[in-house]
C-alpha cells in the first residue's frame, strides 16, 4: 500500500489561494512559499481547481515530507477518475515541470478498482466517510 499524506500537516494548494513564483520545500517542514505561474484562480479558464491546459485537477496536496499529490475527487472510484488523475500527473509535469503522485479521494472505492488504481497505476486512493 502506498504511504498517505500526513493527515495533520498537509498543505492543500488549490488555485484559489495561489500566488506566482516557484514552490520550494524547506526541509522536513514542507512549507510551500509560492506556487508556480498558472496555478492561480482565474488562470486560463477561470474555473476552480488547478489549471492544466484545457483541463483542471481538483487540488494539489503538498505533505510535510515534501511529497506532492495531484488530486481528483469523486463520490465513488470509477474508470474516469483513474484516467483523469493519470492525465493530470502527466500534464502537471508537461506544463509546469513539476512531478506529483496521483491521488483519488472518494467516499466509496470498489475493491477491484481500488486494486487496479493502487497496484497498476500507483494511485493513492483515499476513502473518506
pLDDT, position 48: 67
Residue 18 scores a pLDDT above 50? no
pLDDT, position 16: 33
Question: Reduced to 3 states, what is the DSSP secondary structure of residue 51?
Answer: strand
pLDDT, position 9: 42
Cβ neighbours, 10 Å, residue 10: 16
Strand 59-63, strand 68-76: pairing: antiparallel
Task: Write the CB contacts of 82 (distance below 8 Å, at least 6 apart in sequence).
Answer: 104, 113, 116, 117, 121, 123
Residue 4 scores a pLDDT above 70? no
pLDDT digits 0-9 by tens, 71-111: 999 999 999 999 999 999 999 999 999 999 999 999 999 99
C-alpha cell read off for 60: 494539489
pLDDT, position 50: 87
Task: Write the CB contacts of 97 (distance below 8 Å, at least 6 apart in sequence).
Answer: 36
pLDDT digits 0-9 by tens, 37-75: 444 333 333 356 889 999 999 999 988 888 999 999 999
Q: Does domain 10-127 have CATH number 3.40.47.10?
A: no
**End-to-end C-alpha distance for the chain, whole angstroms:** 20
Amino acid at each position: 500500500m502506498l504511504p498517505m499524506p500526513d493527515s495533520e500537516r498537509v498543505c492543500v494548494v488549490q488555485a484559489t489561494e495561489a500566488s506566482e513564483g516557484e514552490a520550494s520545500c524547506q526541509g522536513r517542514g514542507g512549507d510551500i512559499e509560492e506556487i508556480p505561474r498558472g496555478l492561480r484562480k482565474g488562470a486560463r479558464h477561470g474555473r476552480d481547481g488547478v489549471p492544466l491546459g484545457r483541463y483542471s485537477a481538483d487540488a494539489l496536496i503538498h505533505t510535510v515530507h515534501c511529497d506532492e499529490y495531484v488530486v481528483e475527487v469523486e463520490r465513488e472510484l470509477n474508470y474516469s477518475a483513474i484516467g483523469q488523475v493519470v492525465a493530470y500527473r502527466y500534464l502537471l509535469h508537461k506544463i509546469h515541470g513539476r512531478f506529483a503522485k496521483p491521488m483519488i479521494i472518494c467516499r466509496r472505492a470498489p475493491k477491484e478498482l481500488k486494486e487496479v488504481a493502487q497496484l497498476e497505476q500507483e494511485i493513492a486512493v483515499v476513502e473518506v466517510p
